[in-house]
Amino acid sequence: MKALKRVIALFAITFAGLAFIKQQKPTIYLIGDSTTHNNDKETWGWGSTIPYYFDLSKVNIENHAMAGRSTRTFIKEGRWNKVDSVLKPGDYVMMVFGHNEGSKPDTTKAGYRGVLKGTGNETVELTWPNGTKETVHTYGWYFRKFIRDTKAKGAIPIVLSMIPRNEFRDGKVIRANNDYGKWAQEVAQQEGAIFIDMNRITADKYDKWGADSVKKFFPGDHTHTNKVGATVNAESVVDGIKADPKNPLSKYLKTNY
């Protein structure tokens, strides 16, 4: 009986130790829109394929991105608070937005998720039909909040530029380097956050492959990719990690990639 109790105690200690190790692993939290997290049927987000490239015995990955969200609505709907509340020192937040920000911010259905353009401190005050007040900020302001909140928890913010759409002009894919991609990079630099130019890395691939090949990645529209297209973008993120010697995520990548 004593021997059996010792075996049971040993198993209990072992399992407790494994649980502690799992708990202590850092977590990479992904926040964004449908290009990061989709239904994983006809259309996929890159956040669903990127775990294939990481050693998950060393790091956890949680995809909290949600279709249709902008920087503004991700905060307004409490989705950022949910992530922020569980951040611990040594965690990471990979953030990418830009596809849903373009409408004029107002109290119409179309304006529900729009933000002000740029990275400044401009605001617009809205009053919703129920009397609720809302202050809407610039795209850059919302990114600063994500970055600063992340740092305040001892976690590491990593800013990404949005994936390019399937839109070509004069044989070249249209890039985000004059608007949302540019603004994301500017805020990352101003706030001392790591930046991965997924837009540029993927756009370089698209230009090389050509419009006829690229359209195979987009089954329904010019924004949402199939699994192959999502994998292209996930690999662009990994390429960006590996190209930056200052990016700490490189130590979690599988050695065979």
Helices (DSSP H) in the chain: which residue ranges?
Answer: 2-24, 71-76, 79-84, 139-152, 180-191, 198-209, 211-214, 227-243
**Is 57 an annotated catalytic residue?**
no
**Is 222 an annotated catalytic residue?**
no
Catalytic option among 34, 48, 70, 236: 34
User: Tokens for 173?
Assistant: 């894919």
- Asked if residue 157 lies in contact with residue 95, where contact means CB atoms within 8 angstroms, the answer is yes
Rounded distance between C-alpha atoms, residue 246 and residue 74, angstroms:
28
Which single residue is written with the structure tokens 């007040």? 133
User: Tokens for 17?
Assistant: 């130790």
Catalytic option among 84, 197, 224, 236: 224
Alpha-carbon torsion (102, 106, 109, 115), positive or negative: positive
**Is 84 an annotated catalytic residue?**
no
Catalytic option among 213, 221, 222, 250: 221
What SS3 class is residue 31? strand
Q: What are the residue numbers of the active site?
A: 34, 221, 224
